[in-house]
Structure 1
Amino acid sequence: MSGQPAAGSPGLSGRSAQELIYGCMGLGGSWSAEPYSSAHVDEAAAAVDAALDAGITLFDHADIYRNGKAEAVFGEVLAQSPGLRERIRLQTKCGIRLGEQGLDAFYDLSRDGILERVNASLARLKTDYVDVLMLHRPDPLLDPAEVAAAVGQLMAEGKVRALGVSNMSAPQIELLQDRLDTPVVANQLEMSLSARAWLESTVLVNHAEGADYSFPHGTVEHCVRHGIALQAYGALSRGLYTGAPSATQSAAEEATAALVAELAVKKDTTGEAVLLGWLMKHPAGIAPVIGTAKPERIRACAGAAGVAAAMTRAEWYRLWITARGSNIP
């Protein structure tokens, strides 16, 4: 298969896939057309500093985040911080169009669409290249030859160094890979202790309960076999297990929050590190994406790798079973 990486090869430019990633979707103010302010740039700078303090060097964007303002404020941070671009890696996504041609949203992974959106992202980010370009969502009108042409051109121009995907199944990745001259190096999926379809699908094969989960079984295994790094967005479950108690929490969610807090005390760490460590314990080498803009919460994630290494099999299963609210089959 053209451009296929060797099985087990590291996913992102020779680095281990098992790392923390900072997701920049929360930067840049509102999702409206209202311009960003200097306060939003300061907020972005504080988030970047906190991420660096936590040992994070990979920053995740998309052209649509805050209608482009997330990339724009990050570009301002780069412009104000000489040498920062050389210390970090950037990835951005394209393929979703919002509020155009009378539609709330549609997908566009055409050759011209990819080229247009990547060049716009580079301008907002104030950089000449991104380390990884990710195709944001599957486009039913996608022509693999067009994608290959666009990616090939961007790589030849030095604007993109590697290609990834997001929200794609194993067959969709394979279809793309057949035409690409470069390997798909990463797949970003929703994966967390609350969004467990990726995990449930592995044990509910030939089980009636499996019909409750739409995750395409075999996708995680395909990525592991072909050295495609798995990136987990929503990894902190949006504060479900580490925030203030909510009146809408289910019994399972309340029990899970209590267990996360118990393990954090036992391991002298934070609830955030416990949640991320649970993901990173999985042998697929999952890299969690941290989406909060709060510096204290970003720094609270720093101990995740250590938690993953120290977490016992029984503790890992206890978290999963508590979160699902019922025993495994």
Structure 2
Amino acid sequence: MGLGGSWDGEPLSAGDVAAAEAAVQAALDVGITMFDHADIYRNGKAEAAFGEVLSRSAGLRERIVLQTKCGIRLADGDRPGIYDLRGRSIVQRVEESLTRLRTDVIDVLLLHRPDPLADPADVAKALMSLHEQGLVRHFGVSNMNAAQIDHLQAHLGVPLVANQLEMSLHRRDWCEAGVLVNTPEAAANGFPAGTVEHCWRNEIALQAWGPLAQGRFTGREETATERATAQLVAELAAEKGTSPETVVLWWLQRHPAGIAPVIGSANPDRIRACRDAVQREPELTHEEWYRLWITARGEALP
């Protein structure tokens, strides 16, 4: 999302492309080879900047996995922002993304958010058409619960391979939903119970967006709880010879469901700080994982 400069209507600049090149190179340097986009990021300029990088880098497309999303339409004049998963809209958005990304095929297409007006049969027909034409290899969803995934999968001739959800040491409702059962706090949690387990059981990869929690535990602490958590993160990082960013990501990666963080940053230094989350297995003990969780929640477990 950070690629492509501003969100306004200004055209892509040489500086925007240079910044994208630096971010992509930093990712490749640490072993990251999957890149996540959405058609709306920077009003399309994020995809366009990345496409320019691809066009300048011979052989790069064959070395990476390219993922993008569609299904959100930003506000435009008097029209508010809406969700749009009509089949014809999906096809149009994919064609536009392919043009901006300067590629012949998208490896993974995610449906960005649920559209209450979407007909799953219509959605599936569009997806299968894109698949049969060789324009999209795999499909997934984002911000969907188990029932929504099942409802779409029942109409789709290929398996959904991913569900991207906000998951982090700050956004812990996905984890807490499972331990707040039969407690007064359960109703306030809101996360759809069983979604993590459904994805895990059906080999739908869980992708975590916002996994660094906007830096809340690595330099942008605002509350006493965040400061206490950041201190613990820093202590564990020092003990294990890694960065605080890695410890925050390890907390997600330590979960047995195999959560894959989508780090989201376009800052080369911040990308490099995540190196050990790519190159080393999570080195958190059972007790350390729980210490991080309890400290971040600011109170003991029920």
Matched, 1:138 2:114: yes
The corresponding residue for 1:258 is 231
SS in 1 for 2:81: strand
Give the Å deviation of 1:307: 5.9
From the superposition, tell whether residues 149 and 101 of structure 1 become closer, same or farther in structure 2 (CA, over 3 Å): farther
Q: How many residues align structurally?
A: 302
Matched, 1:163 2:139: yes
The corresponding residue for 1:40 is 16
From the superposition, tell whether residues 253 and 195 of structure 1 become closer, same or farther in structure 2 (CA, over 3 Å): same
Give the Å deviation of 1:30: 1.0
The corresponding residue for 1:312 is 285
The corresponding residue for 1:298 is 271
Gaps of 5+ in 2: none
Q: Distance in 1 between matches of 2:291 and 2:278?
A: 19
Give the Å deviation of 1:34: 1.4
Gaps of 5+ in 1: 1-24
Q: 2:150 aligns with which of 174, 188, 197?
A: 174
Q: For the aligned residues, what is the CA RMSD?
A: 1.1
SS in 2 for 1:278: helix
Give the Å deviation of 1:104: 2.8
The corresponding residue for 1:196 is 172
Q: Distance in 2 between matches of 1:143 and 1:278?
A: 37
Q: Distance in 1 between matches of 2:155 and 2:19?
A: 41
SS in 2 for 1:187: strand
The corresponding residue for 2:97 is 121
CA contact (8 A) 2:30 2:278 kept: no
Q: 1:235 aligns with which of 211, 235, 247?
A: 211
Q: Distance in 2 between matches of 1:152 and 1:268?
A: 47
Give the Å deviation of 1:304: 1.6
From the superposition, tell whether residues 196 and 152 of structure 1 become closer, same or farther in structure 2 (CA, over 3 Å): same
Deviations 1:108-132 (A, max 9, x none): 1001000000000000000001100
Q: Which amino acid aligns with 1:235?
A: P
Q: 2:83 aligns with which of 95, 107, 110?
A: 107
Deviations 1:255-298 (A, max 9, x none): 00101111110101000000001100000000000111111110
The corresponding residue for 1:152 is 128
SS in 2 for 1:203: coil
Matched, 1:272 2:248: no
Q: Distance in 1 between matches of 2:58 and 2:280?
A: 34
Matched, 1:79 2:55: yes
From the superposition, tell whether residues 306 and 204 of structure 1 become closer, same or farther in structure 2 (CA, over 3 Å): farther
TM-score by length of 1: 0.90
SS in 1 for 2:67: strand
Q: Which amino acid aligns with 1:252?
A: T
The corresponding residue for 1:323 is 296
Q: Distance in 2 between matches of 1:70 and 1:306?
A: 27
TM-score by length of 2: 0.98
Where do 4+ consecutive residues of structure 1 move more than 3 Å?
Answer: 305-309
Q: Which amino acid aligns with 1:189?
A: L
Q: Distance in 1 between matches of 2:250 and 2:36?
A: 20
